[in-house]
Amino acid sequence: MDTGHHLQGVETLGAKAAPVLQIEDLAVEFPTRRGILTAVDGVSLSIDPGEVLGVVGESGAGKSITGTAVIGLLEPPGRIARGRILLRGERIDGLPEDALRRIRGRRIGAVFQDPLTSLNPLYTVSQQLVETIRTHVDATPKEARRRAVQLLQEVGIPAAERRIDHYPHQFSGGMRQRVVIALALCANPELVIADEPTTALDVSIQAQIITLLKRMCRDHGAAVMLITHDMGVIAETADRVAVMYAGRLVEVGPVRDVIRQPRHPYTIGLMGSIPSVHRRVSRLVQIDGAMPRLNEIPPGCAFHPRCPQVFEPCRTLRPELTPTGSGAAACWLFGDAPPSPGKAGS
C-alpha cells in the first residue's frame, strides 16, 4: 500500500468527502416579450456522494428547471443567468456542448417523468441499452448485451434474457420505468437527477419504483437529486430535503428534522396539509392564496403575502438562508433583520 493511498484513507476518516454536486447562486431566466422571467432565482445547494437530496415544491416552483440546468439541457431561450454548477469541484455550467455530452450519462444520469415517452418506440430495449453502454464504455456488442441483461435483472425485470429484445410498448408502465432506471445507471454515473420519476405511474407501484431507484443508486454509488412535489416520496426516500418556492430555496435540512419540526412558515403549511394516519385533526391546514406567477413575484420575501407570521422586514427585504440547527431557512424569523428605517433600535 503506497503512501498516497494510505493518506487517502486517513483523509476520509476525519473530514467529510467533497460534495458531488454544488450549485452556487444559480439563476435561470427566460426572456419573453413581457420581460425577463426568472424561473430560478439564487438557489444554492450541494449533494454529498451517495446522498439522496429531495427537492420539493409545487408545480412551477423551479425544481425541474434546476435539474435541467444541472444536466445542461435547458432549451433556449432559457439560459443560466448567473451562478455556478460544480461537479466534484469542476465547473460544468457554460461548458461547450461536446464536453457536456461527455458528462451526460457518464457522470450525471437522468430519469424523467413519463416512461412511455422516454423510450424510443421503434427500437428494442436491447438496442437502446447496448447503444448507451457502448457510448460510454469500450465494449463489444456481446459484452454490452451481457451487461444490459445484468442490469435488467438488477432492476427486477423477470426473464430478462428474453424480454430484452422486446419493444417498449410491450412493457407495463412500471416495467418501463425500471428500464429507464437501468438506462440512467448503465454507465455508473456519480449523480442521478430524477425528475418526478413516479408521478406518471400507478399509485400501487410508485413505492416499488422509488425503492428500486434508491437501491440502485446506492449499489452503483450514485447520489440522487430527487425532484418531486410529493412529500410522501421524500419522507420515504431522501436523506435531506430542499424546499423551493417561486424559484427560491426556502428551507433545507435533514428529512426527519424538516418534517417533524419545519421552520419556514411555507414548510409548516406544507407539512400540515399532508393527511396523516397518526394525527387526528378536524381540518387539514390550508395555505391561503397561491404561489405567485413568475412575472408577479412580490418584493422582499416571495411568500410574505400568504404568510401567517409576516412582519415588517418581510415585505421589503429578501431573506437569505440562515442556519436553524441542523438545517437552514430563508426567513426573517431566524435571521437578524437589519433595523428598518424609522424604528429606533430593535
User: Which residues, 6+ apart, have CB-to-CB distance to 283 below 8 Å?
Assistant: none
**From the list 163, 214, 220, 248, which residue makes contact with another protein (rule: CB under 8 A)?**
163
Site for another protein contains 212 (CB under 8 A): no
**From the list 125, 179, 180, 224, which residue makes contact with another protein (rule: CB under 8 A)?**
180
Q: Judged by CB under 8 A, which stretch of 106-114, 141-149, 242-250, 292-300 contacts another protein?
A: 106-114
Angstrom distance (rounded) from CA 226 to CA 233: 9
Site string for another protein, 140-159 (x = CB under 8 A): -----------------xx-
Site for another protein contains 338 (CB under 8 A): no
Site for another protein contains 96 (CB under 8 A): no
Angstrom distance (rounded) from CA 146 to CA 144: 5
| Side chain identity, residue 279 | R
Which grid coordinates are listed for 194?
Answer: 430524477
Site for another protein contains 88 (CB under 8 A): no
In the complex, least distance from residue 293 CB atom to another protein, rounded to whole angstroms = 16
Angstrom distance (rounded) from CA 261 to CA 267: 9
Q: Is the dihedral of CA 291, 297, 302, 305 positive or negative?
A: negative
Site for another protein contains 119 (CB under 8 A): yes
Q: Judged by CB under 8 A, which stretch of 1-9, 180-188, 236-244, 318-326 contacts another protein?
A: 180-188
CB 262 within 8 A of CB 252: no
Angstrom distance (rounded) from CA 116 to CA 200: 9
Angstrom distance (rounded) from CA 64 to CA 40: 10
Site for another protein contains 104 (CB under 8 A): yes
In the complex, least distance from residue 41 CB atom to another protein, rounded to whole angstroms = 24
Strand blocks (E) in the chain: 21-32, 35-47, 52-56, 79-87, 90-91, 108-111, 191-195, 223-228, 240-245, 248-254, 322-324, 327-329
CB 303 within 8 A of CB 245: yes
Site string for another protein, 181-210 (x = CB under 8 A): --xx--x----------------xx--x--
- The residue (of 215 and 315) whose beta carbon lies closer to another protein is 215
- The residue (of 156 and 254) whose beta carbon lies closer to another protein is 156
Site for another protein contains 304 (CB under 8 A): no
Of 44, 72, 86, 59, which is closest to residue 248 (Cα–Cα)?
A: 44
Site for another protein contains 213 (CB under 8 A): no
Q: Which residue ranges make up the site for another protein (CB under 8 A)?
A: 33, 71, 73, 101-106, 109-110, 112, 114, 117-123, 131-132, 135-136, 157-158, 163, 166-167, 169-172, 174-175, 180, 183-184, 187, 204-205, 208
